[in-house]
Structure 1
């Protein structure tokens, strides 16, 4: 771990926004999923929530050109489950959805805990999901087409969220709790060992906060071998 790499990881974690996320409803195209994850990472999102298409129930396959490593992917079996979890955590859920009550996306306060619901490429946000969210937002369109591509729309909305949060100084204070901060750091900095720990139901070894390296790695390996 070079000092530059360690500093970059810490600075990125220091800017993570645990209460800003996307909830994607049955997005079909891998390139759109990839773009959503990349955009999420770019604006400092800590996790991204997804409900997979019903005919494609499978683990996330990693199509985001590596950025899925930096953003936690949380999969839900239904939109009800995803919306209810986010609302239970105190996050308002805003659906990018054209309706009589929809607000201009720039009129929403994204400094509050919130999630942006992005609908399916063909059908948009389902009627059931639209009824359960806290509000609808739209991006005003000036041409013949009715909407942007889902990943473009998400990038526009999240850029506004980033602008508001940056103005309020929310990127200048560490917002992850200490446990989640260092658990995430370990997954980022030591992915192979983290995967080994997951597969064997082991706690991550201790980290030296001065340089980001594992404390006494040979001793940890010896203890693991002894208990295997």
Structure 2
């Protein structure tokens, strides 16, 4: 079945191109067994806001939630999502791509988010709302980050943590001028524009 183009005006297509040209090809997230659809929708919205194009889905004991068609879920159509079932294959693929892999956590080895250079190729693992990052992922990617907090409560909602983490990545990358030059090659940008026009 042929897809219908939705670039109704030259301005709409130009906006899509402008957004795609600021997407970061080497910044991604792993969502690991995050079950709440509101959290998942909010995380995807933050990915769109801060230029993350690729999200990896690792779901072993929870199914990926049905996000429906709410406005907050609409960000999913602008994000590439790849499903994984084998943690070793997923992590090795990210390492082969040159990524530093950071998981959220509170162990003794966790370091403040601001200690890391997020201008490097980076993937951040976000864990389940109740138990955090799965043990098998922690063993494969032991580097942990935490967001320093000043109150009595020492943890944030996973979607809030995602937004703050991605904003810090945006802040560092913006200061380094990384949003000024496309990180995808021209052929890929053209293909993405045409794909987005069908969404």
TM-score when scaled to structure 1? 0.78
2:129 aligns with one of 117, 121, 126:
121
> Which entry has the higher C-alpha Rg, 1 or 2?
1
CA distance in 1 between counterparts of 2:157 and 2:95 reads: 26
Alignment root-mean-square deviation, CA: 1.9
Q: Which has the higher strand share?
A: 2
| Alpha-carbon displacement from aligned partner over 1:50-109 (angstroms, at most 9, x marks no partner) | 112424268886665211111111111133332222112111110011111211101110
Matches within 5 A, 1:1-228: 1-56=8-63, 64-133=72-141, 135-191=143-199
Structure 2: segments with no counterpart, 5+ residues: 1-7
Match for residue 5 of structure 2?
Answer: none
Q: Which runs of 5+ in 1 are unaligned?
A: 192-228
Deviation at 1:32, TM superposition (A): 0.8
Change (3 A) 1:12 1:27: same
Displacement after TM superposition at 1:187 (Å): 1.6
- TM-score, length basis structure 2: 0.88
1:92·1:134 contact (CA, 8 Å) conserved in 2?
no
What CA distance in whole angstroms lies between the structure 2 residues aligned with 1:134 and 1:17? 24
* Number of positions where the alignment pairs a residue of Structure 1 with one of Structure 2: 191
